[in-house]
Amino acid sequence: MQVLTRVFRVLILALALAGPGFAEGAKPSVLVMGDSLMASNRIKGGAVSHALGKALGTKVVDHSVFGARYFYILPLSGAAGMRIDAQFRGGPWDYVVMNGGGNDILFGCGCGRCNRMLDRLISADGRSGAIPELVSEIRETGARVIYTGYLRTPGVTSPVESCGPVGDRLDLRLAAMAKAMEGVSFLRLADLVKKDGDTSYHAIDLVHPSIKGSRAIAAKVLELMGQ
């Protein structure tokens, strides 16, 4: 039975590695997961998942949750989707569009001395840690993964401005992971806003994306999908 299971996984993975294209008229199955970067504007119908679904002509499932993290002090505190790995369910999926790690850095180490937290999330070479472990698990199902970084506020001071340097380090590690893993892409969002002082991509809190920001993120994701 174990041999058959391994063969089945290999076949799924081989199909996934063949490329992101789909048969004419076919609609990809897409799961979005992560934290508030993905969940923002969902009530208004303007989240990343909504923009993706509209462009792809299909319903995109969204399991993202505000405040979601990889690590919690109390095991039960990560229930009901607050734990990012618990959001991966359902399927099978052609694509999983996801993010995560920002809340662990913000609340776990205050965006200050974060070497230990960064290493727990993802090693410098992108091959170990909670993020690569989850991404590897997702890849074993055959789904292609698009992992995004976080927005920055160029020329404007936001409440999480101090997180920029550690965010850059996280981006480098996520890029290394994508380079090391077949079927994984990293989408850097730090330079999504091109014009200094442009706050239109952010919500009023200057932390989360506005509807325009969510749509811009979705547009970049679609480029990586080849759509």
Q: Which domains does the chain have, with CATH numbers?
A: 28-225 (3.40.50.1110)
Which residues have C-beta within 8 Å of that of residue 110, sequence separation ≥ 6?
none
Phi and psi torsions of 211, nearest 5°: -60, -40
Single-letter residue type at 41 = N
pLDDT-derived band at 26 (thresholds 50, 70, 90) equals confident
Q: Which tops the pLDDT comparison, 10 or 155?
A: 155
- Residues 173 and 126: beta-carbon distance below 8 Å: yes
Q: Give the integer Cα–Cα distance in Å for 143 and 226.
A: 15
pTM for the predicted model, two decimal places? 0.87
Nearest one of 217, 226, 223 to 51, comparing CA atoms: 217
What average pLDDT does the structure give for the chain? 89
Average pLDDT over residues 146-174: 96
